[in-house]
Structure 1
Amino acid sequence: MPSSTDISLRPDDGDAFRQALRSVQKRSRLPVVFGGQVCEGVLRLSQFAGVRTAALRGLGIRTATGLGGRVLASARPASVADYEAARSITHDYDGPVSAEGIRSVVAVPVVVTGTVRGVLYGASRSVICLGDRVTDAVVDVSRQLAGELAVRDEVDRRLRLRRAAEAEPAAPGERFMVEEVRELHAELRVIAQAVGDEALRARLCAVSRRLAGLGSATPEPAVSLSPRELDVLAQIALGCTNAEAADRLSLRPETVKAYLRGAMRTLDARTRFEAVVIARRRGLLP
């Protein structure tokens, strides 16, 4: 029986993609949906619904080739009303696409902390206008899937840390060090905002940033959060409710909610938990 720290216990991400595609088909009402995950820079089509042939099965999409490759390169949604006549993409995959009879296609990347992890497609065998309603539906499902993958990644990261700690027992008290650093960071943020001396406030903020950098040995590309958004997120990371964070920061609960919503939007996070996970990976929180 595998141990509780065995990374193989992670659910199959393919199942998450299959569920996402079912949602795409239901919400977009497109007859054909498909997609897959990115491995070593190549998008491998592996999940399908509504197809009539095996032409697309297992197809590897390279960066900047075809519609999917364009999405891989840009990390942004893209669509074509008539695949055969489209001039905005290369036509490396015309054979498989034509065999399936696909004409209109929308492709949306699944982006997790800045990296494209997969692509979801919705398609029609007729030339139709894929409006905002269809694209927005696929984008929304893609964001939900990205959030699920981010949570799974964080669970894996914590399991790896736990396994490493079990392999090399920590010194007495060391297990509490990370939480202590996080509490100190949050307290520094509170003190800094209460200080009237701008120079001293800047020094306190600089110290808090150094503490935040301890949370990740290799921070991912930085994003910019406002000081107040960071203050709120630091409190949320400690498990505070909006009301508790408001009390600590001398703000109204509605204001805390607004700052948290802004931070989640900037971090492209769907939940409070995911926002904290992304902030820690990006070196914004310890």
Structure 2
Amino acid sequence: MPGTHPALPGGGRSASPAAIPGDLLTELDRLLAPGVRTLRRSCAVDLTFGGSLAPGARDAITIRHLDGHLGHTLRDLQVRAGYGLGGKVFAMGRPLVVRDYFNTARIVHAYDRAVAPERIETVFAVPIRAGETVVGLLYLAQRDDVAIGDRVVARAVEHTRRIERDLAVGVEVRRRTAAYDEAAARDQRAVAEVRRDLDEAMALVDDEQARNRLQQVSQRLQRISTGTDAGAPECGNRDGVLSARELDVLQLVATGAANGDIAAGLGLRPNTVKAYLRSIARKLGATNRTHAVRLARDAGMLP
């Protein structure tokens, strides 16, 4: 039968692409750039080209990648479902081949003006699927009216299947990476909350040894959250090192805020603010709050 090939597999219609995620289409576009070049070399044809659904598109494939082309009339061409050979493949969900392209009655000749400068005669188009949905197209073309043999068809179909497998793997890697990043961000937020609780506890502890131990724990939590912890606790407490909460308090002091304003701004009790100020003065060797701000600025702790 004209327009079909006895070795072509598949069949059926493509599913609606409305729910295709953007990261899948981005990954497919990335794979197609080298894919069309490899396909042309593997099949020894004059021209290969292809494209994917644009994000948000429902019924059109955009041709973005070409190899062996004479001009650029096909680049960025939108192939709509049902129009042209690719549109027919898109709508039917199975590969098709046509010979004597410009005279065949098997397709709607909606894109002849874009195709004509390439002087092609025989074209083979293969759908790229994600699950049951057609999300892209690959084309092979010859500039002579010659049959595309079973061996070339098999190579082209296998090449497309490989892209589909790589697409599935790439999307899964992106999904897992995103999930890992989200989990890491949650962990960092949790560690930050724990450190704030520790800082508040330190300000209320009068025993210096206990304060030093809490400070070590807080610092190790910070190293764990940033990936710099080597497993060994710090020995002793470094004089002059302010906790994150103490810096919060001192920054507000530097603006001229009173203790009550600081307590309200940071969600603390006034007595807790006083305890922080005592701890700050002790660590910096400051005689008063103004002196503490100046010493912190000299040390580069405050802007």
TM-score range, shorter chain: 0.5 to 0.7
Q: Distance in 2 between matches of 1:68 and 1:115?
A: 15
Larger radius of gyration, structure 1 or 2?
Answer: 2
Q: Does 1:158 align with 2:176?
A: yes
Q: Retained in 1: the 8 A contact 2:120–2:142?
A: yes
Q: Distance in 2 between matches of 1:138 and 1:98?
A: 23
Q: Distance in 1 between matches of 2:177 and 2:32?
A: 23
Q: Indicate the residue corresponding to 1:20 in structure 2.
A: 35
Deviation, structure 1 residue 166: 4.3
Q: Distance in 1 between matches of 2:34 and 2:82?
A: 27
Q: Indicate the residue corresponding to 1:84 in structure 2.
A: 102
Q: CA RMSD in A?
A: 2.6
Deviation, structure 1 residue 14: 3.4
**Percent of paired sites with the same residue:** 33
TM-score (norm 1): 0.53
Q: Indicate the residue corresponding to 2:62 in structure 1.
A: 44
Q: Does 1:121 align with 2:139?
A: yes
Aligned residue for 2:50, secondary structure, equals strand
TM-score (norm 2): 0.50
Measured at CA, do residues 84 and 23 of structure 1 come closer, stay the same or move farther in structure 2, by a change above 3 Å? same
Q: Retained in 1: the 8 A contact 2:70–2:117?
A: no
Q: Indicate the residue corresponding to 2:85 in structure 1.
A: 67
Measured at CA, do residues 43 and 11 of structure 1 come closer, stay the same or move farther in structure 2, by a change above 3 Å? closer
Aligned residue for 2:169, secondary structure, equals helix
- AA aligned to 1:93 is Y
Q: Distance in 1 between matches of 2:38 and 2:29?
A: 14
Q: Indicate the residue corresponding to 2:46 in structure 1.
A: 31
Q: Distance in 1 between matches of 2:83 and 2:185?
A: 45
Q: Retained in 2: the 8 A contact 1:55–1:96?
A: yes
Alignment equivalent of 2:129, drawn from 107, 111, 123: 111
Deviation, structure 1 residue 88: 1.5
- AA aligned to 2:141 is A
Runs of 4+ in 1 over 2 A off after TM superposition: 10-15, 159-169
Q: How many residues are aligned here?
A: 164
Q: Distance in 1 between matches of 2:181 and 2:30?
A: 26
Q: Distance in 2 between matches of 1:12 and 1:148?
A: 9
Q: Retained in 2: the 8 A contact 1:101–1:125?
A: yes
Aligned residue for 1:45, secondary structure, equals strand
Measured at CA, do residues 15 and 153 of structure 1 come closer, stay the same or move farther in structure 2, by a change above 3 Å? closer
Q: Retained in 2: the 8 A contact 1:112–1:147?
A: no
**1:181-203 Cα shifts (integer Å, max 9, x gaps):** xxxxxxxxxxxxxxxxxxxxxxx
- AA aligned to 1:16 is L
